[in-house]
Amino acid sequence: MESFGVRTESRNCLVDITAKVRSAVAGAGVRSGIAFIYVPHTTAAVTVNESYDPDVGKDIEDTLSELVPANAGYAHSEGNADAHVKATLVGACAQVPVEDGDLMLGRWQGVFFCEFDGPRTRRVLVKVLKSAE
Ligand code: ZN
């Protein structure tokens, strides 16, 4: 199991973690398999989307905030119910095929850590499952 930290700088932000995930996959030493990328937090998530234009991440963040308002009479008394709902909508894990020891991402794709209750120091786990060959 590989892992790395992510320091987020605002309450809501998408952070491109592709290079860190690639390093973790290289560290796992698996040539062919599946990278299972997992966020062990209840108010953060992970997704794969366009990394070429940073406006895409901003649009995702803004759209989620429109869909899930910060204050909407939630039952959860901690004051971060919106962050929990966003985390569930996006999801705690992503899977990417691995070949020749590297992520098989599309040309424009990247892996994003999605912060919904920052700024915080977070953790990402990467488990590379080896394929039967
Ligand atoms: Zn909470």
Which residue range(s) make up the domain with 103? Answer: 2-130
Find out whether 2 and 28 touch, Cβ atoms under 8 Å.
Answer: yes
Residue 85 φ then ψ, to 5°: -65, -45
pLDDT digits (tens, 9 = 90+) for 67-79: 999 999 999 999 9
Going from the Cα of 130 to the center of ligand 1, the distance in angstroms, rounded, reads: 35
Does residue 8 have a pLDDT over 70? yes
Show the beta-strand stretches assigned E in 30-106. Answer: 33-38, 44-50, 93-99, 102-103
Going from the Cα of 56 to the center of ligand 1, the distance in angstroms, rounded, reads: 27
Does residue 133 have a pLDDT over 80? no
Confidence of residue 132 (pLDDT cuts 50, 70, 90): confident
Residue 119 φ then ψ, to 5°: -75, 145
Q: What is the number of domains present in the chain?
A: 1
Going from the Cα of 92 to the center of ligand 1, the distance in angstroms, rounded, reads: 15
Cα 34 from Cα 102, distance rounded (Å): 10
pLDDT digits (tens, 9 = 90+) for 29-88: 999 999 999 999 999 999 999 999 999 999 999 999 999 999 999 999 999 999 999 999
Going from the Cα of 57 to the center of ligand 1, the distance in angstroms, rounded, reads: 24
Would you state the pLDDT for residue 33? Answer: 98
CATH of the domain at 108: 2.60.120.460
Residue 34 φ then ψ, to 5°: -135, 130
Going from the Cα of 79 to the center of ligand 1, the distance in angstroms, rounded, reads: 7
* Average pLDDT over every residue of 112-124: 98
